[in-house]
Amino acid sequence: MPLLLYTGCFYLLLPFMVLRLLHRSLRAPEYRRRIGERFARFNVPSLPGEQPLWVHAVSVGEVVAAVPMIRQLQTRYPALPIVVTTMTPTGSERVQALLGDSVFHVYAPYDVPLIIKRFLKRIKPQALIIMETEIWPNTVLTCRKSGVEVVLANARLSEKSARGYARLSRLSRQVFGAFSTIVAQTKADATRFTALGAPSSRMVVSGSIKFDVHIDGATRQAAKQAREQLAASARPVWICASTHEGEEELILRAFSEVLAQQPDTLLMIAPRHPERFETVAAKIAAAGFGFVRRSEGGVPAGQPVILLDTMGELALLFGCADVATVGGSLIERGGHNSLEPAAWGLPLVNGASDFNFAEISHMLQNSGALTIVDSERELGAQVSQLLLDEKLREQKGAAGLKVIEDNRGALERLLAVVQDYLN
């Protein structure tokens, strides 16, 4: 009964979901393109070799986490076609930028049985790998009924999310009990999944594959060149990444404090969602700061702010900074992954909201790599201190790198599970 009710509600909501895509497309045109893919209507390419592996990564963070796994599978199984689905245009852009034509990419089907069955009929996957926490009941259950193995990979489940699933206990037990294997990031995650109905016999604790991030020499050289092109080699640089509504104003006020200590500091702001680029541009102007847009290729000579309004460059532009703040943490959003800037050896100053990445956040805090602040004044003070003290930056950056090095290996543990489900 809970599944029937959920499915019925989803069918009723489909027209409104399409309207929502069209509404969002007013600010981000990509949302109105390829809508047919969400109904499993697309041209299927010739997929030579074995039955495909389907990898679902909802958006940017999950795509970035999935890419090392996909590249390893492509190396080990060169005849294995891989289909990658996302839900957002930003995730789609990342797939195309990082994997290109080496995979077949479409938007994920909406979570109703008729659409999922059409998708499975067209793709004919042998297994589905779902990254992290994107759990759609009908997708999981329809795949299992069709003989498709389903693995939840690099899985995390916050206490807040677990409480939400627990309110729908009958449906949650049906869905979590259907996974072939759940590869959880931590023991705490595994315990929460088990409490929701996942059999402990199908549970593996791997650690987070996000620790397996690697920045090669070519990328480091490209970052160095980018900083030179921005004429920022001699300026202190503070990057604020993946910011949300309510955070930019706080950051800009803190930046005033930073400028009082370091007048030539350059602030780089990267909003999480591209449809907010214009809104954030207006906020910067309203705060009285001159700025340039990255999309226009401007050099911020004499300007204190760069609005990072391009797609796919953030990982590189971390390499242009001296201090990083990761958004979603300064408001009650739960934070985003801080390991990417840590991999560049950057000290971190974040807000206190970290429930989406609690384990990673605590590890970085305990090492000294991450400082947590609870006010804009403290944010400005901590960033100023780091920008003024090169030795302190190096110490904190090295601490973050050590956390990453000490926790590598989750990718191999995940691959061992995935390989068991490949023909």
Question: Where residue 48 falls among pLDDT bands split at 50, 70, 90?
Answer: low
Contacts by 93-101, CB closer than 8 A, 24 or more apart: 93/30, 93/311, 93/312, 94/60, 94/63, 94/64, 94/311, 94/312, 95/57, 95/63, 97/311, 97/312, 98/63, 98/64, 98/67, 99/67, 99/70
Question: pLDDT tens for residues 158-211?
Answer: 888 999 999 988 999 999 999 999 999 999 999 999 999 999 999 999 998 989
Judge if 86 and 10 occupy the same domain.
Answer: yes
189, 264: one domain: no
User: Does 59 lie in the same domain as 153?
Assistant: yes
Identify the three-state secondary structure at position 110. Answer: coil
Cβ atoms < 10 Å from Cβ of 334:
16
Domain region containing 264: 217-406
Residues 267 and 414 in one domain: no
Condensed to tens digits (0 to 9), the pLDDT of residues 57-109 reads 998 889 988 999 999 999 999 999 999 999 998 899 889 988 999 999 999 99
Q: Check whether residue 99 and residue 30 sit in a common domain.
A: yes
Structure confidence at residue 1 (pLDDT): 63
Residues 277 and 346 in one domain: yes
Does residue 70 share a domain with residue 153?
Answer: yes
The set of catalytic residues is 62
- Reduce the DSSP state of residue 88 to 3 states and report it: coil
Tell me the per-residue pLDDT of 217-239, one tens digit each, with 9 for 90 and over.
Answer: 999 999 999 999 888 888 999 99
CA dist 182 and 152 (Å) reads: 5
Look at residue 33 in the predicted model and tell me its pLDDT: 84
| Domain at 327, CATH number | 3.40.50.2000
Total domains present in the chain: 2
Question: What span, in angstroms and rounded, lies between the C-alpha atoms of 210 and 257?
Answer: 33
Whether residue 392 sits in one domain with residue 248 = yes
Contact 95, 105 (CB under 8 A): yes
Q: Do 183 and 276 sit in the same domain of this protein?
A: no
30 lies in the same domain as 62: yes
Whichever domain contains 53, its CATH number is 3.40.50.11720
375-393 mean pLDDT: 97
Same domain, 412 and 383: no
Judge if 395 and 412 occupy the same domain: no
Lowest average pLDDT, out of 42-46, 268-272, 289-293, goes to 42-46
